[in-house]
Amino acid sequence: MARYYFDVQTGKPPVRDDEGAEFDSLEVAVQAAARSAAEIGTSRLARGDFSDVIIEVRDEQKQRVATVTASMRIERHGSSFQSPHSWSA
């Protein structure tokens, strides 16, 4: 098992993960990061926050090995709607 770290960026200063978690492989760590990004985005959407959620995955040597970005783009059509909004999960 290897330790991976998830640094979270949500439009504010990033939250650095100094603890990390152990995963069987990088692929399993990336899947966990994707689930986390989706959960964070869903929670933010409920509060009306449409900004991207980015999770940088670092390995045991603290090197960035993957980036997961969760976002949603909403395009409204018709003259009664305002410009498009972006949202991330």
Q: Is the pLDDT of residue 85 over 60?
A: no
Q: How far apart are the first and last CA of the chain?
A: 28
The residue type found at 9 is: Q
| pLDDT tens by residue, 5-32 | 999 998 778 899 999 999 999 999 999 9
Compute the distance between CA of residue 4 and CA of residue 74 in angstroms, rounded to an integer: 32
| pLDDT tens by residue, 31-66 | 999 999 999 999 988 888 888 999 999 999 999 999
CA nearest to 9, candidates 84, 73, 70, 86:
70
What is the pTM assigned to this prediction? 0.80
> What Å distances lie between residue 18 and 25, 31, 56, 77, 85, CA to CA?
19, 19, 13, 44, 33
